[in-house]
Amino acid sequence: MADTFLLKPVDLTTTDATTIYTVPTTDDTTVPATESTTAIIKSIRVANDSGSDDTVTLTVTRGSAVFAVETVKAVAANIAIEVLTVPLVANEGDIIKATAATANRLHVLLSVLEIT
């Protein structure tokens, strides 16, 4: 078993749902093989580097299902917020996405512990 701490920074340059992080899936065809992974998301910080208020929506996609983590969360001008109050556990193939109401205002920093 291995533990890997990662930081996944993303600049939300569009108003489309943007992938921040995808939990790795088992792949025996790679060398070395990609092992089964569980991810513990410790933090999701959203920073607004503009002079205008904005909002962000965060989701987890599992297969074809989309689950809300935060919906239209306010992020004041020139402020950073922490979205999570407790860690979030994600399984193989889960995808964390963020959608900004306005392009080029928000940055997302996701801190994750991958356990393989």
Residue 26 confidence (pLDDT) = 82
| Residue 88, SS3 per DSSP | strand
Q: Which position has the token pair 């939300």? A: 12
**pTM of this prediction?**
0.91
Q: Determine the average pLDDT of the residues in 1-20.
A: 95
31-38's contacts with Cβ under 8 Å and 24+ in sequence apart are 35/2, 35/116, 36/92, 36/116, 37/92, 37/114, 37/115, 37/116, 38/89, 38/90, 38/91, 38/92, 38/114, 38/115
pLDDT at 84 over 80: yes
Residue 1 confidence (pLDDT) = 63
Establish whether the linkage from the previous residue to 9 is cis, with ω within 30° of 0.
no
* Six token digits for residue 99: 């959608």
Q: Determine the average pLDDT of the residues in 87-116.
A: 97
Predicted confidence (pLDDT) per residue in 39-82, tens digit: 999 999 999 999 999 999 999 999 999 999 999 999 999 999 99
